[in-house]
Amino acid sequence: MTWLLGDRSLDFGAGMRIMGILNATPDSFFDGGRHSDPGAAVERGLQMVEEGADIVDIGGESSRPPVYGEVCEVSEEEECGRVVPVVTELRRQSDVPISVDTVKAEVARRALDAGADIVNDISALSADPQMAGVAAERGAPVILMHRRGSPATMQRNTKYADLLGEIRDYLADRVEAARTAGIGEDRIAVDPGIGFGKSIEGNLRLIHHLEFFAELGYPVLVGASRKSFIWKTLGLGPEGGLEGSLAVAVVCALKEVHMLRVHDVEATVRAVRMAEAVIHVG
């Protein structure tokens, strides 16, 4: 499958696409504050492209769980002020596909106007009733993620009677909502929501069974980079998440995941491309 994005494209048959995380926020769990200045954010975006990123994902509101500190909601205007200038300048300097990580329709609309291509909505179009219409009107692909509750509440209940089945059914329901709103089947991807309302064991199980979600028939995105289940599994602190994240990236390559959302672009690209070389040598 290939997403056509104006004069750009994403070919999911050409290996796993690497999505670089660009947080234009002061409080994201790993790199909060490093790129809150628009100039620094654009510089990092361009650096990620040089490192091999196939997509740059720009977000202006942290979705970190409470384990990392107080969850602070951001107004629509403030989020636009963080995101839109970065999208505008990155688009001016690069033709890399850009996704906007937001649950707000107006932020998505203004980012798409500024040159973004894709809407990455962690609420799967449920937080803002206008979001699906914006994506449909602009012909923008959407990434639909599973989460339980909001960032402030999602870790209060991580028990599931049927982890895989419940998440798959939720994603199938949100895919149908997207299609009903006029978003084409060839413009939808799904994300099981690693770290969003799941236990450590639940996250590991999701990664072990990623092919289960590919059965929905849409590209699958995984975002596990440097999340707490990785460094906690290894008995480390938050700074010890790189090697575990790379291990998850290699597993995702084995599972033929379509997109991988990461902080450490250069290291991940090298690990994934080596894994793919081994996978496809025969």
Annotated catalytic residue 187 = no
Annotated catalytic residue 147 = no
**How many other CB atoms are there within 10 angstroms of residue 161's CB atom?**
6
* Spatial distance between the Cα atoms of 71 and 28, rounded to a whole number of angstroms: 10
* Catalytic residue selected from 174, 227, 255, 273: 227
Cα 268–Cα 273–Cα 279 angle in degrees, nearest 5: 125
* Catalytic residue selected from 148, 174, 187, 261: 261
String of b and e for 106-127 (b: at least 16 CB within 10 Å)? bbbbbbbebbbbbbbbbbbbbe
What are the two backbone dihedrals, phi and then psi, of residue 144, each rounded to the nearest 5 degrees? -105, 120
Q: Which two tokens stand for residue 230?
A: 């990785």
Q: Which residues are catalytic?
A: 227, 261
